[in-house]
Every structure is written in C-alpha cells, then in structure tokens.
C-alpha cells in the first residue's frame, strides 16, 4: 500500500526547531522523526511513500536527494571513501514521491493535491508524520478491510495525564479523576483510507473537520482503539522523551530486524 505523509505544516508549537526546518525533519537520535515514521511502515512492507511538502520543502528534498544508506548501517569503507560495502542484510529500498503541495494548504487540501498518485489504490495509508507508535498495523488494516468503512484512525488516550473535574451547577466538585482513567480518546494521526475518501473532501476542507463529519453522518468512519505506546512530538518536552528512549535503546515503534525481515519477505 502507498503511504501518504503530511510534511508541510509550520510546527508552531515546537518553534525552536521549526523556524529552520519543517517539523517532520526535527531529529530524534541521529535521524528526523519522519525517518522513524517511514521505518515503522517499511517494516510491515509498505515502502512506497508520497510526501506532501510545504513549509521549507527544499529541506526534505535535500535530505532524500542526498540520502546515504551507509550512514544508517554498518559498513566497510575503502579506496579513500570511494567504495562503500554494507554489512549484514541490505535495508529495504524506499520509493519516495516528493510533492510540493504549497505552504498554506491544510491537510485535506494536501491530500487532494496528491490524489493522482493514489488513484489506483483501493486502500492507502496516511500519517501526520510527527508521532510514533507500536500499534499493530496489519491487524488494523485487516479489521478495516473487513468493514465497509471509508476511513479509519488510531484512537489513543492522551499520553499526558491531567485531572478531570465533575461538578454541579453551583461549582461544587463531585469527583476528580485522572484522564487516563476516563473514556477520553483522541485522534492519533495514523490513518487508513479507501479511495472513496476523495468523494467526501471539498475545496478548502480540513481533513478531520468537514470530511470526517460527513463520514460520521454516513457511519463510514471507524476508530481503532489502542492503549499501547504512542507519542506525538508537539513540544520540546515530547522530543526530549523520545530522545531519552532512543538513548536507552527503547524504541517500541521498531520491530526486531529478524521479525521485520520475515514480515517483508
């Protein structure tokens, strides 16, 4: 399946980085978070990507035009750097379409701008490109295929705990409870769509506003509830959490190499 990645936003909530690079290119570890998102899909065999670019599109293009797999793999260098041999299994090859969809377009309009690149796909995947998860993608896809829904998204509990207050009309508090103990679910930014999604998007529409409202009215939108690992990188604190996980070698969004090879074979 093709994977549409939305990479054109301004990333205003993490401006310390996004003033110089687009949000998906902010590094965690030695690679941008976009690379980690692509690795997640790649390990399940989905390696044909469509990147919807916008803000600082040239930064993303330069990254892929100058991409060297040896920087991410064990290798042997000889002939004064002119010859490079990769050690172990060769990484999976990616096909990456880099499409400048404009700076000010919203997510819905970016998706419309690349419609021609997924028009032959009965089902395709999409992602905000700023969050990581270990959600079981094959199970999610299988459940979606067995339904007659047009869209699906991963629904998760907010990862940051806050306290919910229930009170009466006079402001007297009846109870307080942690958000993790509530039935609050939010959109996790991992999507599956049938090509019919384009019938629900009109000029100017934001994806999860008007189109999703139309899907809901027709009972064609499903949520895949997931209570495992999920973390978006909205703030510097979020980035720090992901950095610390990588430093510990704790990367639940990556399968073992052996399992990834088995899935991709």
Largest pairwise CA distance in the chain: 79
For the stretch 166-191, pLDDT in tens is 777 777 788 777 766 667 889 999 99
181 CB-near residues (< 8 Å, 6+ apart): none
Domain residue ranges of the chain, discontinuous segments joined by +? 2-68+91-264
The answer to whether residue 11 scores a pLDDT higher than 90 is: no
Q: pTM, whole model, 2 decimals?
A: 0.86
Quote the mean pLDDT of the chain: 87
Predicted local confidence at residue 205, as pLDDT: 96
Most confident of 34-38, 71-75, 101-105: 34-38
For the segment 65-89, the average pLDDT, to the nearest whole number, is: 77
Confidence band, pLDDT 50/70/90 cuts, at residue 14: low
Of 3.40.50.150, 3.90.550.10, 1.10.10.10, 3.10.580.10, which CATH number belongs to 2-68+91-264?
3.90.550.10
Distance CA(86)–CA(73), nearest Å, equals 7
For the stretch 103-156, pLDDT in tens is 889 999 999 999 999 999 999 999 999 999 999 999 999 999 999 999 999 999
Which of helix, strand or coil describes residue 220?
coil
Give me the percent of the chain exceeding a pLDDT of 70: 86
Length, in residues, of the chain: 265
54 CB-near residues (< 8 Å, 6+ apart): 7, 8, 9, 22, 100, 101, 102, 103, 104, 105, 110
């Amino acid at each position: 399946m093709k994977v549409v990645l939305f990479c054109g936003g301004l990333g205003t909530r993490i401006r310390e980085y996004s003033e110089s690079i687009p949000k998906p290119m902010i590094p965690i570890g030695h690679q941008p978070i976009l690379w980690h998102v692509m690795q997640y899909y790649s390990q399940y065999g989905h390696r044909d990507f469509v990147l919807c670019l916008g803000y600082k599109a040239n930064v993303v293009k330069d990254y892929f035009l100058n991409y060297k797999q040896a920087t991410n793999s064990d290798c042997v260098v000889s002939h004064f750097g002119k010859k490079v041999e990769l050690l172990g299994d060769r990484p999976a090859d990616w096909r990456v379409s880099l499409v400048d969809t404009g700076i000010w377009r919203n997510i819905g309009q970016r998706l419309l701008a690349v419609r021609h690149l997924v028009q032959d796909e009965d089902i395709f995947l999409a992602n905000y490109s700023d969050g990581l998860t270990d959600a079981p993608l094959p199970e999610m896809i299988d459940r979606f295929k067995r339904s007659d829904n047009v869209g699906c998204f991963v629904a998760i509990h907010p990862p940051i705990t806050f306290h919910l207050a229930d009170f009466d009309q006079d402001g007297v508090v009846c109870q307080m409870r942690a958000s993790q103990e509530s039935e609050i679910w939010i959109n996790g930014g991992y999507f599956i769509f049938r090509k019919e999604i384009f019938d629900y998007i009109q000029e100017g529409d934001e994806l999860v506003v008007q189109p999703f409202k139309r899907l809901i009215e027709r009972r064609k939108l499903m949520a895949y509830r997931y209570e495992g690992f999920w973390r978006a990188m909205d703030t510097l604190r979020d980035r720090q959490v992901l950095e610390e996980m990588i430093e510990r070698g704790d990367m639940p969004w990556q399968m073992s190499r052996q399992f990834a090879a088995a899935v991709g074979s």
